[in-house]
Amino acid sequence: MCGIVGYIGDRSNVLNVLMDGLRRLEYRGYDSAGVAGIVNGEIDVYKEPGKVANLDQLVHIENDVVFQKVGIAHTRWATHGPPNQMNAHPHFDQDKEFCAVHNGIIENYATLKNQLQKKGHIFHTQTDSEVIPVLVKEFYDGDLFSAVTAALRQIVGTYGIALVSKHEPNKIIVARKGSPIVIGVGTDETVIASDVAAVVKHTNNVIYLDDGDVAEVSVDNIEIRNLDAVPVSRKVDKVDWDIASAEKGGFEHFMLKEIYEQPDSIKNAIRGRLNFEQGTAILSGLNMTPGELTEIERVIITACGTSMHAGMVAEYYFEDLAHILTDVDQAAEFRYRNPIVNNKCLVIPISQSGETADTLAALREAHMKGAKVSGLVNAVGSTIAREAGRGVYLHAGPEISVASTKAFTCQVTVLLMMALKFARSHRMPMPVGKTIANEIQKIPDYVQQVIERSGEIEKIAKKWCKCHDWFFIGRSYLYPTALEGALKLKEISYLHAEGYNAAELKHGPIALLTEDVPVVALANDIDGKDKVLSNMQECKARKAPLIATATEGDQEVADLTDDIIWIPKCHPLVSPVPTAVALQLLSYYVAKELGCSIDQPRNLAKSVTVE
């Protein structure tokens, strides 16, 4: 969950490249940051606790810092040891001969550390990562690549690493196992990172390392081998977005920018994927014929967090439209509970980054059990995208804010198209398919209409932002949307928020309702709305403030509530998308009013690459 940057080339401003890369990867971790490079034949290291700005201030105070051709950098999300200067990366051996940055977890670090200490090596940090440069020192006999591979063969766990040595100052060794590493191939320079966001400013040509790859990178050469030193071939891919997509573009926060981008991102997710004449979806990435679709007897969606909420909406879609038994599994539990999976199952792992460790583990378990697997990811070239073998990209563009917004709405939209495709291959009549396809096409317009009400939503946020506890309730397609709304609020405002199926209120949670606990009721015009209205009456009787989302013009809901957020009239199937956008805006403006760190909430990071 940390950000790694490395550079080797002829630029005189190596430090500037590293610092810029760290700023672009800070969403992957912001507990501490550090840089290291070769200066006059020695390794210099600078690191600071806190955000990258603290490190930037330090290196500017040390204004004579000039790294010679090569450098590595890191922004940390703490696992082992508190976020302080000592535990910040890069890490090095006691003589500063070898220096490394690491993303992942070394499960046997305590054993390795004990063995190395008995041999006289000295450790200075509480991290697991420090064993990497010390192990390399132990194995080094004049060949850096061999020393690194020997060290990695001792490690149990996950890693993405970049390592430099004063003994071979004109190269960087990078490796991955379970944690992403991308190599940007430029002209007379190479940029290494854990995410393409740090690379695209310099080049759009990238190589994604696979698990087990170790690359020796010099100014004019990239040689990739496995841990047994056998050469492997990896193709050069082209990144299809530019650096402007990963910048704020005049918005105060990335989150607000990404909320406002949703009409366009959803258009990109839909473009070319609807067949209006046949009332179906065109999803070539599924790589399944209509006959093969009919052979699927069960769909299992596995994901974490926001992606899991999207999957919960899709459970309704697949069962209501295609009449296929569908389950949603929390990815962290999937491989540990021995799920019943066979070749009649389609497993859909969902992950914005395509690197979520638990979801990747679930994918591999599904493959092991003989299921068909179709990934749903946003990041092109990500591990889940490559290992799934088939799948669908979101095309949402880069999502920098830690709190996911446009990825969620694109996930729900694409999952609806998948369900439509399955349904048309089963028993759905063409006219029904055409109606749904036409409604999917209108989703960007519905979202735009909600965004145009931002000012009204901001006023509601200001009115209730001082309340410390919130409930979100909904039914049917809007039940998972309520869960997602609660998650957004707690993520970025640090307020306590819970999402419930509206029916669950009276089974315990209603005991917590007071006049200081707002209830956000999703009362759009869908099946079950009458029951939601009854639940709202129950809340009102306990004097809880009521905020509702409702279909435009619904006076019955308006008469019940203290405040209302209007959602455009739309088909119930697509209503979760504009409703989710309304809740994103509500959460954003609450957090802004409270002065929270919206793009980089405390304790969180964007890409969860540890279990």
Q: Is 2 a catalytic residue?
A: yes
Q: What is the pTM of this model?
A: 0.82
H or E element in which residue 329 lies: strand 325-330
The pLDDT of residue 607 is 60
Taking CA atoms, 587 is separated from 333, 454, 462, 496, 504, in Å, by 29, 12, 11, 12, 23
How many CB atoms sit inside 10 A of residue 319's CB? 15
Identify the band that residue 58 occupies on the pLDDT scale cut at 50, 70 and 90.
confident
- Of the residues 2, 345, 410, 596, only one is catalytic, namely 2
| Domain range 453-597, its CATH number among 3.40.50.300, 3.40.50.10490, 3.40.718.10, 2.40.50.140 | 3.40.50.10490
Token pair 């990335």 is at which residue?
254
pLDDT at residue 334 greater than cutoff 70: yes
Longest alpha-carbon distance in the chain? 79
- Domain spans of the chain? 3-246, 251-448, 453-597
Structure tokens at 85: 């200067």
Q: Which residue has the tokens 């034949």?
A: 41
Average pLDDT over residues 440-468: 97
Which of 76-90, 187-201, 237-251, 471-485 has the lowest average pLDDT?
A: 237-251
Instruction: For residue range 489-519, list pLDDT tens digits in order.
Output: 999 999 999 999 999 888 998 988 999 999 9
More confident residue, 78 or 307: 307
pLDDT score for 39: 86
SS (H, E, C) 106-162: ECCHHHHHHHHHHCCCCCCCCCCCCHHHHHHHHHCCCCHHHHHHHHHCCCCECEEEE
Coil, strand or helix at 579: helix
pLDDT given at position 185: 92
CA–CA separation, 286 and 376 (whole Å): 10
251-448 and 453-597: identical CATH topology: yes
Q: Is the pLDDT of residue 211 over 80?
A: yes
Catalytic residue among 47, 51, 137, 606: 606
467 belongs to the catalytic site: no
Q: What is the pLDDT of residues 403-418, one digit of tens each?
A: 999 999 999 999 999 9
Cβ pair 218, 186 in contact under 8 A:
no
CATH topology for the 3-246 domain: Glutamine Phosphoribosylpyrophosphate, subunit 1, domain 1 (3.60.20)
**Which pLDDT score is estimated for 51?**
85
Work out the burial of residue 593: count CB atoms within 10 Å of its CB; fewer than 13 is exposed, 13-18 middle, 19 or more buried: middle
What is the distance between the alpha carbons of residues 133 and 143, in angstroms, rounded to a whole number? 14
- Whether 245 has a pLDDT exceeding 80, the answer reads no
Of 244-253, 425-434, 464-473, give the lowest mean pLDDT range.
244-253
Does the domain formed by 251-448 have CATH 3.40.50.10490? yes
Fill in the amino acid letter for 495: L
SS3 of residue 258 by DSSP: helix
Taking only the tens place, the pLDDT of each residue in 117-131 is 999 999 999 999 999
